[in-house]
Structure 1
Amino acid sequence: MSTIRPVQWGFAGTGSISGSMASQIANSAISKAAAVSSRSLESAKAFAATHGIGKAYDSLDDMLADPDIEAIYIALPHALHKGAILAALNAGKHVLCEKPMALNAGEVAEIAAHPRAKSLMITEGFMVRYQPQWEWIRAQIADGALGTVKQVTAFTALQLPPPAVDPARGTLAGDRSLLLDIGCYSVHLVRTIFNADPLRVSALIERDPVTGLETFIKASLDFGGRYADVIVSNVLRRGRRIHVLGSAGSLEIMTPIHTPPTGAKVLAALVGDGNADPVEQVFPSVEQYGLQMDDVSRHIRAGDQPRVTLANALRNARTLDAIVASAEAKGAWAEL
């Protein structure tokens, strides 16, 4: 039984991801959903009733003024992330913000420059980092089981309709961005695999001629003679894979982001002459959002760094910015 006092969390936003997070920490001994805010008090009260949350507010500012709330979980539209984070820091609250932390590296740098950025915890919500498969994958690479990793290929295709525009606020900058919403996962994970940041990026982006939204993204990331190719699409047949190729072995990550109830699968060919059949590794499906918040809560109590640091968020944003810059230059290399 945990002897650590539960961190009192305020939830900014009542969408589906907030619902998943609240459900997955319902029985946590270290994280407590203590309050929720929404632009609509009715929505906040309904969310609070569903998830057994004691306090509901019709504004983020009112929730931030609550002295009992220690940390804020932000699951708002992308364009609202920076403002909500800065408001939380002004109020002296720790922050777990859903990816992307902000619209670009300049906004993340503005967050990092806040006077309380070093004394309070600020972490970007990549729940995927809390899956057992990724702990195993990182250990295999770190232990040299794959030899030198030379190439990573990450492919994501999701045929999803764009979310409806909220008539009360219209369309905000970054809304429905394929790169910010989906591509950020691949960029974060290939950086995690190489445990480094790319030196330069070459990218192409195709956009819908009517909406201007990205429909296909292809980016090559140069890690100094080691490479990653990232492809993201919302017009191709659904599929998601990451291939990791090394001098002594390879991995095919079958379900890299959201794992099904049957568990996450990795095909691993780690030894031999390369002709042996790969071995299937199966990892249990976990409540990754809840694991993430509990881990952040432990780090808050310990006063140390989270798994995904603010510095990491800034470097991921810089890579995403480089992809955009290269695409605008018709694929010319953009240096980081």
Structure 2
Amino acid sequence: MTGVAGTDKVKWGIMGTGWIASQFAKDLNHAGNAVKAAVGSRTQESADSFAAEYGFERSYGTYQEMLQDPELDIIYVATPHPFHKENVLACLEAGKAVLCEKPFTMNGRQLEQLVETARENKLFLMEGMWTRFLPPIVQAKQWIAEGRIGDVRLVKADFGFRIGWEPEGRLLNPELGGGALLDAGVYPISFASMIFGEQPQHVWSTANIGETGVDEQFSVLLSYSEGRSASLHGAIRLNLSNEAVIYGTEGYIRLPFFLAGKEAYLHVNGQDEPEKFTDERTSIGYAFEAEEAGRCILEGKTESPTIPLDESLEIMKLMDTIRAQWGLRYKFE
């Protein structure tokens, strides 16, 4: 796949017209290698409205119609996560590259099928873990690579928010994949995976399973080789600090609101004041992952080295392990 003929741009289609789709669509304006080509929805009215509001060239009243568009290079799957497997599979079977919003799937078994299909068909596939590409997190990784905080020993990260009591709403509905782990917990868990560059050797966790049967909050302690560890927390009925801290033998890095924040602080042992990095971006931040996906496609890559498929799969399997400790299973399982 070479992108738009004679250019260094790729044509995007968006599957779904919900909130996350709108955020991504707005940010495509800031992705230098992206063209807003098409949107697909479950109704023509919704697709037309979305295309008009966010500037897409074409709109389709069904997902399948959009997938038959021969000009599309890549599809951003923005549907609710219980539908990710079938939607991504449909894209791959139509010969389209895919960027899938997190969580990739509901469990590791589903993701294994998608990875196998993408590799068999030599198609690009990537998890939409946008935090990997945010400038403050990229800066933190650079500080670590430069040895500014010495050897990393401990990661602490949490993401939690308090939603209202809506038992039928998606986040509290077990049939819609509700709960803190998949919606909120995937961020700190993926963050720890990125920092340590490996998966944990031991996992301890606890969760509060609420009235509707979903995990409303959880805590996880992970141990890695050489005595390193991560303390991670997530919640949908509890406001947390939503920051990440990386502790090393020579200092630490603090990322306020690490999911979307614009600052990073480097605290070096013996220095009175921290070194501050400020991100001057005007975009929300989704543009960075969109540009990465586009760049990979234009270079003929089928995976992003920043978040390879094997790592996404290991993260999903880790969340399976955590759920198993709680005795939490989804109905389809």
Identity percentage of aligned residues: 27
Residues 36-115 of structure 1 mapped to structure 2, 5 A cutoff: 36-114=39-117
Q: Distance in 1 between matches of 2:24 and 2:167?
A: 22
Could you tell me which residue of structure 1 aligns to residue 268 of structure 2? 270
Q: Distance in 1 between matches of 2:202 and 2:120?
A: 28
Q: Distance in 1 between matches of 2:253 and 2:148?
A: 10
Q: Distance in 1 between matches of 2:161 and 2:169?
A: 22
The alpha-carbon distance between structure 1 residues 290 and 163, as it changes in their structure 2 partners (threshold 3 A), is farther
Residues 164-313 of structure 1 mapped to structure 2, 5 A cutoff: 165=168, 173-209=175-211, 211-224=212-225, 225-259=227-261, 264-272=262-270, 276-287=272-283, 288-304=285-301, 305-306=303-304, 307-313=306-312
- Preserved contact between residue 79 and residue 172 of structure 1 (Cα < 8 Å): no
Q: Distance in 2 between matches of 1:5 and 1:314?
A: 30
Residues 116-131 of structure 1 mapped to structure 2, 5 A cutoff: 116-117=119-120, 119-131=122-134
Could you tell me which residue of structure 1 aligns to residue 318 of structure 2? 319
| CA-CA distance at 1:188 after TM superposition | 0.4
Could you tell me which residue of structure 1 aligns to residue 135 of structure 2? 132
Q: Distance in 2 between matches of 1:150 and 1:28?
A: 35
| CA-CA distance at 1:96 after TM superposition | 0.2
What RMSD over aligned residues (CA atoms) do the two structures have, in Å? 2.4
- Is 1:160 aligned to 2:163, yes or no? yes
TM-score normalized by structure 1? 0.88
**How many residues are treated as equivalent by the alignment?**
319
Q: Which runs of 4+ in 1 moved over 6 A?
A: none
- Preserved contact between residue 118 and residue 125 of structure 2 (Cα < 8 Å): no
Larger proportion of helix:
2
SS in 1 for 2:29: coil
Which one-letter code corresponds to 2:310 in the other structure?
A: A
- Preserved contact between residue 160 and residue 240 of structure 2 (Cα < 8 Å): yes
The alpha-carbon distance between structure 1 residues 251 and 162, as it changes in their structure 2 partners (threshold 3 A), is farther
The alpha-carbon distance between structure 1 residues 132 and 286, as it changes in their structure 2 partners (threshold 3 A), is farther
| CA-CA distance at 1:163 after TM superposition | 7.3
TM-score normalized by structure 2? 0.89
The alpha-carbon distance between structure 1 residues 269 and 106, as it changes in their structure 2 partners (threshold 3 A), is same
Q: Distance in 2 between matches of 1:223 and 1:175?
A: 29
| Farther off after superposition, 38-47 or 157-166 | 157-166
- Preserved contact between residue 85 and residue 95 of structure 1 (Cα < 8 Å): yes
* 5+ long unaligned stretches in structure 1: 330-336
